[in-house]
Structure 1
Amino acid sequence: MTEAKVVLVTGANTGLGYEIIKALYASPQPYTLLLGSRTLFKGEAAAAQLKSEVPESTSTLTVIQTDVSSDASLEAAIALITDSHGRIDALVNNAGAGFDGQIRDEKMSIRDAFNASWDTNVTGNHVLTTLAIPLLLKSSDPRLIFVTSGTSSIWETDPANWGGMPPLARINASPVAGWPKPKEVNPITSYRSSKAGLNMLMREWARILKNDGVKVWGISPGFLATNLGGISPETLRKMGAREPHLGGEFMRDVVQGKYDEWAGSVIRSNNTKQPW
């Protein structure tokens, strides 16, 4: 009998992370699933909810505290996984956050919000990945995944490259002249900037681990109706967001090998590579 693959998903107590864990937990293929959560309380609540939604599963589920803004938390998580499992077959760096609404509403300064965005979306992922490499290299089929964003494409900020797609026009169109600019419903400047940086981080890890047999991706799951950035799912649906479970199922397909030939790229849930 094939040993269940060990999969760690950060930020898995809510949103896309929860849907990734759920899609894997509901799969007939058995996994040892590590539900990473910033706080154990929220992680345990998510695990209980998942078990009620998927009462029968071939997989096991364990909650691991993974606060990506805390080196001590990540070091403790890796130590725990080392002792309990000895390897990681797939690391899904999903934990992320948006703070642009806090700038808009004058609840955070620009500097604090940008620093928080980069710390959560880039630095925390880099620290955890660095700590996890020894465990990944003990896998026979190691996979390293960074969850990025469709808003992170620099190429698509050029109007010539919108291709008549309303979502691209919506996030990339220029506001009217004058200052201050009108407040946006869903501001994303620091968020998309950090995710563009995450894309380069993914490429760096693909370079560093090329000769170690580690498959590395950036995954752009699409515009989903999660509560990222404090925008309600209902509002996001009105803006064209899709149901979150679709992103989770796409991520499951990546973990299970459907997109292996596109390792090293940012790939989208519509089966295309995202332009840089």
Structure 2
Amino acid sequence: MTSDKKVVLITGGSTGLGFEITKALYQSEIPYELIIGALVVSDGEDAIAALRKETPQSASSLSLVQVDLTSDASLEKAIEYISSQHGRLDSLVNNSGGSFDLDIQEGRMSLREGFNATWNLNVTGTHVLTSLAVPLLLKSTDPRIVFMTSGTSTLTETENTTNPNSAGINDSPPAGWPKPKIGMPVTGYRSTKTALNMLMREWHRILKNDGVKVWAVSPGFFVTGLGGFGSETLKKLGARDPSIGGQFVRDVLQGKRDEDAGKAIRSSTIQPW
């Protein structure tokens, strides 16, 4: 079934930043076929109900597909569904991801378990899904891929300890071992996001002659469920409302940052590597 509406898949679209991306597009005057990729189907159903209640009138349509980035079978089934229902994909928003650094720090996961889980989810799963989605993207007249990166991923800014927003993760702890459990543990998470920046560059290179626009979007620091830190803790650390990030991604999909394709971008600047 083909449609004139732009077909967009947002992974992790049922909660947090992904929900806000979906909402920003759903409230736009531009019509979309918005596909929420959710790990838990009931979460996706709840998200769709909430969006329809908040915005009863929309030019866009909502649907749901189960997406488990740790399962090739799940990803293959998701792409098969999109192909059968829509015949193409105009935009892929690789939003889904996670952090297990706190689980490592608190002893709920071993270092190997936590690191492997973070890389499998944030990098490997995202790469597999993107690979599977390419044939559908190439059927679009304006194909776009967004990889959600992080301000913590930049190598250059790891030397910055004067900015209050980065000092907590860039400061060196006191001498001795083991190190004290202070600040927000991000070693695994930020490492995967740095890798995701390179993955974006690779897809930009691979698909450049196919006319596919690719970005790594660094949306900002928001109050979400990422890492299990809790909303109050995140607010104290300066996290903002995730709706700001949703509007930013909407703007990218609507062409407002086309000149910055192939780069890691912030809301008004280019993020340094």
Once the two structures are superposed, residues 112-147 of structure 1 have per-residue CA deviations (whole angstroms, 9 ceiling, x without a partner) of: 000000000000110000000000000000001100
Aligned to 2:269: 272
Aligned to 1:108: 109
Q: Is the Cα contact below 8 Å between 2:11 and 2:36 reproduced in 1?
A: yes
Q: Secondary structure at the match of 2:120?
A: helix
SS in structure 1 at match of 2:58: coil
* Counterpart Cα distance in 2 of 1:47 and 1:143: 23
Counterpart of 1:168 in structure 2 is: 166
Query: In the alignment, which residue of structure 2 is the partner of 1:119?
Result: 120
- Tell me the equivalent position of 2:244: 246
Whether the 8 Å CA contact 2:169–2:183 is kept in 1: the answer is no
Moved more, 231-240 or 84-93: 231-240
Q: Is the 8 A contact 2:5 2:32 kept in 1?
A: yes
- The match for 1:188 is 186
Q: Which amino acid aligns with 2:193?
A: K
Q: How far apart, CA to CA, are the structure 2 residues paired with 1:235 and 1:145?
A: 28
- Structure 2 counterpart SS, 1:272: coil
Matched residue count? 271
Determine helix, strand or coil for the equivalent of 1:113: helix
Structure 2 contact 25–32 (Cα < 8 Å) conserved = yes
Q: Give the residue type in structure 2 aligned to 1:235.
A: T
Contact 2:168 2:183 survives alignment (8 Å): no
Bigger drift between 257-266 and 41-50 goes to 41-50
Alignment of 1:187-266 (within 5 A): 187-266=185-264
| Secondary structure class of the residue paired with 1:140 | coil
* 1:51 Cα offset (Å): 1.3
Matched residues in 2 for 1:145 and 1:4: separation?
Answer: 19
Deviation at 1:213, TM superposition (A): 0.2
- Partners of 1:154 and 1:71 in 2: CA distance: 31
Aligned to 1:93: 94
Structure 2 CA distance for aligned equivalents of residues 218 and 19 of structure 1:
18
**One-letter amino acid of the counterpart of residue 275, structure 1:** P
- The letter for the 1-side match of 2:272 is P
Q: Give structure 1 regions of 4+ aligned residues with deviation exceeding 4 angstroms.
A: none
Query: Does the 8 Å CA contact 2:89/2:139 hold for their aligned counterparts?
Result: yes
Q: Alignment partner of 1:43: what SS?
A: helix
Give a deviation string over 1:220-276, Cα, whole Å, max 9, x none: 00000111000111211111011010000001000100000000000012x111111
- 1:165 offset after TM fit, Å? 2.1
Q: Tell me the CA shift for residue 100 of structure 1.
A: 0.3
Is residue 169–residue 184 contact of structure 2 (8 Å, CA) maintained in 1? no
Partner-residue secondary structure (3-state), 1:82: helix
Write the distance in 2 (CA, Å) between the matches of 1:74 and 1:119: 13
Q: CA RMSD in A?
A: 1.1
Q: Which amino acid aligns with 1:151?
A: T
**Offset of 1:185 from its aligned partner?**
4.1
Shift of 1:170: 2.0
Q: Judge which range, 185-194 or 111-120, deviates more.
A: 185-194
Partner SS state of residue 273, structure 1: coil
> SS of 1:209's equivalent?
helix
Matched with 2:24 is 23
Larger displacement relative to structure 2 (255-264 or 170-179) = 170-179
Could you tell me which amino acid in structure 2 is paired with residue 23 of structure 1?
A
Code of the aligned partner of 1:274 = Q
Native 8 Å contact 2:123 2:192 kept in 1: yes
Match of 1:184, as an amino acid? I
**In structure 1, what is the equivalent of residue 14 of structure 2?**
13
User: Percent same amino acid at aligned positions?
Assistant: 60
